[in-house]
């Protein structure tokens, strides 16, 4: 009995990982080739890699390898860690270790976990957002925005815990209360904060119909929707017996004759002022209550539309009708003018509000039955005086002209997008490089004085004071303008600022003169593919696009979209088909799977699971299946490397199949269809096995069999992107090729071999030759196919028309006879 080889992943994987590291196999080399920058969203330093990380990185890694083997100068960095932020601080508070120690310990653990994947990262390209050498440039970025008037301080409605005396992040508001004080309701309070004026870029951030870059349509639509550009008009309503005016924003001036009331947001400056004395108490109470609600709750569709009457009336500027003024929290303060005209006939929320408050409803647009529900579509105007009979569109134009012409208001464009609040009263982040001087006011830290280092000795337990304020020695500083005693800003930046520009740093992570080398950065951008999660469409990627556009406008970057292609990954689910979670007990630990099956099997499984953007459930048996497949490849190459294809026809068949496989795998990989590429490689392996199965294994051969050698080498190359360790071992130690397979050239295919050969088959009807057909040689033995073609042939069909074919004689590949009688 011949001994069959088995593939010992443990030994082989460690060995090659060490060798790749030592030889810097994946370093950016081949400087003349096309620059090809691939990136996966950087990881948060949570402490351990879970299956989701493996899933997110596996396919991009295979793609990077494919591109590298295809002759591109690939930059594929991973050593990116989003290292600042609240979780580090929370863990530190809970466990009593310094956030910095916690973070850097995690980075170390994650690095070694990444290494077990055998990824093709260039480890010299590392970016850690909490490194002083990194965040000095985050501070630089802040200063640039500040100089341009794009960073400014303003009062922002924020979640406020009266016990902590601090602003809370949304995720720290649990059931309306503070996470540390479950008895204390979080209230909305106006707190001065730093903002980035992303709304000034709203128009530039809106995706055109046909953009030059290739981002998923859903992503572009989601961003456009989030930006929410809305064209309408602001209209002035005079308040009766009061000098005040209420400005409302509407997109439907065509409905103005249906305005039955006005509603102000509780935060509106006139809210309390307008309230008549007998209503003041109630209005005050309502305003206080609404401060306890988060905006999200206020927007909920199903909620009852509560509100209070102020006792005041306003005058419709077109009809002079007298209408009541209410305060209600479904009107938001940050949008439009914070006041609306209520048109219950044609707006759902207004309709509900009218019903709850017993207000009249008037139809001013034809269509629907406004007694039953609001009719929100367009139509023709009724009950609208001079404007009756116009279409909504015509009326919008005419009424807007009238309003503008009579100084009753002005057209206005509103965006749902808000400016980006970037200050956090937290410790673990990049300090905001601002100094407050009694003499000079707000003074930016001069660029030459950067970085403003984060002090290490602070009290970061939430006490009400921002933690940085407890580092008194650090806070005290001389004013850079007048030299007198001054104080530093004690807030830190949102971590989304850190990650809004990190991709610019990778090409030269050690660059000292700036955040990136302005002269060369353009060569690497826009990056070819940015892989990441769909959950980052409204946060991270929008911020990154914004910062790119700002830096482009300031002349630092020669491009204004940073990623040519964006691809999303799906989610890897637990074996039960549900999201992996500790509470469900369905978490699959990648470390265990790797120990058991090997990194290659796990990688191949992940890539084979289905389309990368879909994901799927973890299936142990299927992982075992991929492990068996790898063993099959291993045995094929090890035990049959000296096989000889004796039959010329077999050799030809293998050659043709090989070229076809190369063509299709290449095309699939170009389209990032990893699973179908693997399926084709599997078919190729099956064919090779078919050949060896028919012949007993021979003793060592004397002559080389060029086709067989070529087939095994090709198989190894095609599999290399997916199973890097196994293929390296085969390439170097079995096929005796030069290290490394990952630097070898991607196989090519010859077009002329892809053309299938054809054979001509004579067709008889009742034993007499009546015609002939040509079919591809691999179809020539299929009776069904040949018969179908024969009957369809026009020479043959006239001999059988009106008759019934009763019998068929078929000599595969040679002759067909259709018998009609
Ligand atoms: C009258 C009207 C009649 C309206 C009608 C709609 C339909 P978008 O498209 O999102 O911009 N609105 C304005 N400011 C608001 C605020 N701060 N909070 C809540 N709602 C506000 O929506 C614009 C419409 O949303 C505006 O047009 C206004 O209601 C409401 F048949 O005015 B409309
Ligand atoms: Zn609290
Ligand atoms: Zn000063």
In sequence order, what E strands does 284-354 have? 308-315, 322-327, 339-342
Encoded tokens for 471: 């580092």
Which ligand has the shortest distance to the CA of 399?
Answer: 1
pLDDT at 509 over 50: yes
pLDDT attached to residue 692: 85
CATH 3.90.740.10 occupies which residues in the chain? 230-414
Task: Please tell me the CATH code under which domain 756-820 is placed.
Answer: 3.10.20.590
CA of 442 to the centre of ligand 3 (A): 9
Which residue, 784, 791, 789, 792, is CA-closest to 812?
A: 784
Mutation test residue for ligand 1: of 231, 232, 248, 250, the one with most atoms within 8 Å of CB? 250
Give the domain 31-140+496-573 fold: Rossmann fold (3.40.50)
Q: What is the pLDDT of residues 82-129, one digit of tens each?
A: 999 888 888 888 888 999 999 999 999 999 999 999 999 888 888 999
pLDDT at 279 over 80: yes
Q: What is the pLDDT of residues 406-452, one digit of tens each?
A: 999 999 999 999 899 999 888 999 999 999 999 999 999 999 999 99
pLDDT attached to residue 269: 94
SS3 labels along 7-50: CCHHHHHHHHHHHHHHHCCCCCCCCCCCEEEEEECCEECCCCCC
CATH 3.10.20.590 occupies which residues in the chain? 756-820
pLDDT attached to residue 179: 80
Give every CB contact of residue 649 below 8 A, 6+ residues apart in sequence: none
Encoded tokens for 396: 């919008």
Q: 30 near 745, Cβ under 8 Å?
A: no
CA 749/CA 477 separation, integer angstroms: 68
pLDDT at 594 over 70: yes
Handedness of CA 169, 175, 177, 181 (dihedral sign): negative
CA 220/CA 216 separation, integer angstroms: 6
pLDDT attached to residue 520: 85
Residue-averaged pLDDT of the chain: 92
* CA atoms within 13 Å, Cβ hemisphere of 464: 4
CA 514/CA 535 separation, integer angstroms: 31
318-332, 461-475, 776-790, range with the lowest pLDDT: 776-790
CA 381/CA 465 separation, integer angstroms: 58
Q: 224 near 305, Cβ under 8 Å?
A: no
CA of 337 to the centre of ligand 1 (A): 10
Tell the residue number behind the tokens 């503070």, with chain if given. 178
Which ligand has the shortest distance to the CA of 363?
Answer: 1
Ligand 1 atom 31 nearest Cα: 346
Give every CB contact of residue 97 below 8 A, 6+ residues apart in sequence: 91
CA of 242 to the centre of ligand 1 (A): 25
Across 467-486, average pLDDT: 96
CA 66/CA 610 separation, integer angstroms: 19
Q: What is the pLDDT of residues 214-257, one digit of tens each?
A: 999 999 999 999 999 999 999 999 999 889 999 999 999 999 99
CA of 250 to the centre of ligand 1 (A): 5
| CB 255 less than 6 A from any atom of ligand 1 | yes
Tell the residue number behind the tokens 């409302």, with chain if given. 248
pLDDT attached to residue 698: 57
Give the domain 590-752 fold: Isoleucyl-tRNA Synthetase; Domain 1 (1.10.730)
135-139, 371-375, 510-514, 579-583, range with the lowest pLDDT: 579-583
Encoded tokens for 29: 């080399």
Give every CB contact of residue 236 below 8 A, 6+ residues apart in sequence: 245, 246, 247, 317, 408, 409
CATH architecture of 230-414: Alpha-Beta Complex (3.90)
Q: 77 near 127, Cβ under 8 Å?
A: yes
Ligand 1 atom 9 nearest Cα: 230
pLDDT at 759 over 90: no
| CB 339 less than 6 A from any atom of ligand 1 | no
pLDDT at 301 over 70: no
| CB 336 less than 6 A from any atom of ligand 1 | yes
How much is the pTM? 0.87
Quote the percentage of the chain above a pLDDT of 90. 72
pLDDT at 633 over 60: yes
Count of CB atoms within 10 A of residue 221's CB?
12
Across 576-587, average pLDDT: 89
Which stretch of DSSP H or E encloses residue 725? helix 724-729
Tell the residue number behind the tokens 């808000």, with chain if given. 418
Which ligand has the shortest distance to the CA of 159?
Answer: 2
CA of 298 to the centre of ligand 1 (A): 15
Which ligand has the shortest distance to the CA of 167?
Answer: 2
Which ligand has the shortest distance to the CA of 331?
Answer: 1
Burial class (CB in 10 A: 0-12, 13-18, 19+), 760: exposed
Ligand 1 atom 26 nearest Cα: 250
Across 525-534, average pLDDT: 95
| CB 252 less than 6 A from any atom of ligand 1 | yes
CA of 117 to the centre of ligand 3 (A): 54
Peptide bond into 267 cis (omega under 30): no
Q: How far is CA 386 from the centre of its chain?
A: 51
Ligand 1 atom 2 nearest Cα: 252
Q: What is the pLDDT of residues 681-733, one digit of tens each?
A: 999 999 999 888 766 555 556 677 899 999 999 999 999 999 999 999 999 99
Count of CB atoms within 10 A of residue 266's CB?
25
Q: 637 near 716, Cβ under 8 Å?
A: yes
116-120, 268-272, 411-415, 758-762, range with the lowest pLDDT: 758-762
CATH 1.10.730.10 occupies which residues in the chain? 590-752
Quote the percentage of the chain above a pLDDT of 70. 97
| CB 633 less than 6 A from any atom of ligand 1 | no
Which ligand has the shortest distance to the CA of 418?
Answer: 1
pLDDT attached to residue 461: 77
179-193, 350-364, 436-450, 517-531, range with the lowest pLDDT: 179-193
Residues paired with 442 in a beta bridge: 436
| Cα separation values, 562 from 376, 510, 519, Å | 40, 20, 16
CA of 464 to the centre of ligand 2 (A): 9
Can you tell me which atom of ligand 1 is nearest the CA of 374?
31
Across 280-299, average pLDDT: 85
CA of 171 to the centre of ligand 2 (A): 13
Q: Which has more confidence, 465 or 369?
A: 369
Across 538-554, average pLDDT: 96
pLDDT attached to residue 1: 42
Q: What is the pLDDT of residues 6-41, one digit of tens each?
A: 788 999 999 999 999 999 999 886 567 789 999 999
Ligand 1 atom 33 nearest Cα: 250
The residues whose Cβ lies within 5 A of ligand 2, an ion, are 161, 163-164, 178, 180-181
CA of 489 to the centre of ligand 3 (A): 14
Q: What is the pLDDT of residues 569-578, one digit of tens each?
A: 999 999 999 9
* CA atoms within 13 Å, Cβ hemisphere of 688: 31
Mutation test residue for ligand 1: of 249, 337, 368, 378, the one with most atoms within 8 Å of CB? 249
């Amino acid at each position: 009995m011949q001994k069959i080889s088995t593939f010992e992943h443990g030994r082989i994987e460690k060995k090659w990982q060490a060798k790749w590291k030592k030889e810097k196999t994946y370093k950016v080399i081949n400087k003349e080739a096309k620059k090809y920058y691939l990136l996966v969203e950087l990881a948060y330093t949570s402490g351990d890699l879970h299956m989701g990380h493996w899933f997110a990185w596996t396919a991009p890694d295979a793609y990077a390898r494919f591109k590298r083997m295809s002759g591109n100068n690939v930059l594929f960095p991973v050593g990116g860690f989003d290292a600042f932020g609240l979780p580090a601080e929370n863990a530190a508070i809970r466990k009593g270790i310094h956030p910095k120690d916690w973070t850097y310990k995690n980075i170390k653990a994650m690095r070694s976990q990444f290494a077990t994947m055998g990824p093709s990262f260039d480890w010299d390209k590392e970016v850690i957002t909490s490194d002083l050498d990194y965040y000095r440039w985050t501070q630089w970025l802040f200063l640039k925005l500040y100089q341009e008037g794009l960073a400014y301080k303003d009062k922002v409605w924020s979640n406020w815990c009266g016990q902590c005396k601090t602003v809370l992040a949304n995720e720290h508001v649990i059931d309306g209360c503070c996470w540390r004080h479950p008895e204390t309701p979080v209230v909305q309070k106006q707190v001065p904060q730093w903002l980035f004026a992303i709304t000034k870029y709203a128009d530039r951030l809106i995706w055109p119909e046909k953009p030059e870059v290739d981002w998923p349509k859903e992503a572009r639509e989601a961003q456009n929707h989030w930006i929410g550009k809305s064209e309408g008009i602001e209209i002035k309503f005079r308040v009766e017996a009061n000098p005040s005016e209420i400005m409302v924003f509407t997109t439907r001036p065509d409905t103005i004759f249906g305005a039955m009331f006005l509603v102000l947001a509780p935060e509106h400056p006139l809210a309390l002022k307008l309230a008549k004395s007998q209503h003041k108490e109630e209005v005050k109470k309502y305003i206080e209550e609404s401060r306890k609600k988060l905006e999200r709750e206020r927007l909920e569709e199903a909620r009852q539309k509560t509100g209070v009457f102020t006792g005041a009336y306003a005058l419709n500027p077109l009809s002079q009708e007298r209408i009541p003024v209410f305060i209600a929290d479904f009107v938001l303060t940050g949008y439009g003018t914070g006041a609306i005209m209520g048109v219950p006939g044609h707006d759902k929320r207004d309709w509900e509000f009218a019903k709850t408050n017993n207000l009249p409803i008037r139809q001013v647009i034809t269509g629907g039955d406004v007694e039953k529900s609001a009719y929100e579509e367009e139509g023709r105007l009724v009950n609208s005086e001079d404007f009756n009979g116009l279409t909504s569109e015509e009326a919008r134009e005419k009424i807007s002209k009238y309003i503008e012409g009579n100084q009753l208001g002005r057209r206005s464009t509103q965006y749902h997008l808000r400016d980006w609040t970037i200050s956090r009263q937290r410790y673990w982040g990049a300090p905001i490089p601002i100094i407050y001087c009694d003499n000079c006011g707000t003074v930016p830290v001069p660029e030459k004085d950067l970085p403003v280092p984060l002090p290490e000795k602070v009290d970061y337990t939430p006490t009400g004071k921002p933690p940085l304020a407890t580092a008194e020695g650090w806070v005290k500083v001389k004013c850079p303008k007048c030299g007198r005693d001054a104080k530093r800003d004690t807030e830190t930046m949102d971590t989304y600022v850190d990650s809004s520009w990190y991709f610019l740093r990778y090409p030269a992570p050690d660059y000292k003169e700036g955040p990136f080398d302005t002269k060369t950065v353009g060569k690497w951008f826009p990056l070819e593919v940015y892989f990441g999660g769909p959950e980052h469409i409204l946060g991270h990627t929008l911020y990154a696009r914004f910062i790119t556009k700002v830096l482009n406008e300031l002349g630092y970057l020669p491009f204004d979209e940073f990623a040519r292609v964006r691809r999303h990954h799906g989610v890897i689910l637990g074996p039960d088909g549900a999201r992996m979670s500790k509470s469900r007990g369905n978490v699959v630990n990648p470390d265990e799977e790797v120990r058991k099956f090997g990194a290659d099997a796990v990688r191949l499984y992940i890539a084979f699971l289905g389309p990368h953007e879909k994901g799927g459930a973890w299936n142990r048996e299927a992982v075992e299946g991929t492990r068996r497949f790898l063993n099959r490849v291993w045995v094929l190459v090890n035990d049959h490397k000296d096989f000889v294809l004796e039959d010329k026809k077999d050799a030809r068949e293998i050659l043709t199949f090989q070229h076809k496989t190369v063509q299709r795998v290449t095309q699939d990989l170009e389209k990032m269809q990893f699973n179908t590429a693997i399926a084709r490689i599997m078919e190729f392996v099956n064919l090779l096995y078919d050949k060896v199965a028919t012949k007993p294994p021979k003793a060592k051969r004397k002559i080389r069999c060029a086709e067989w050698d070529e087939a095994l080498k090709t198989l190894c190359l095609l599999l290399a992107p997916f199973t890097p360790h196994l293929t390296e071992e085969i390439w170097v130690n079995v096929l005796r090729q030069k290290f490394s397979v990952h630097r070898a050239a991607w196989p090519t295919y010859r077009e002329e071999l892809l053309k299938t050969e054809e054979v001509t088959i004579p067709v008889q009807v009742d034993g007499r030759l009546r015609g002939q057909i040509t079919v591809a040689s691999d179809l020539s033995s299929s009776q069904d196919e040949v018969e179908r073609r024969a009957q369809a042939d026009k020479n043959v069909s006239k001999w059988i028309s009106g008759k019934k074919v009763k019998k068929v004689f078929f000599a595969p590949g040679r002759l067909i006879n259709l018998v009609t009688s």
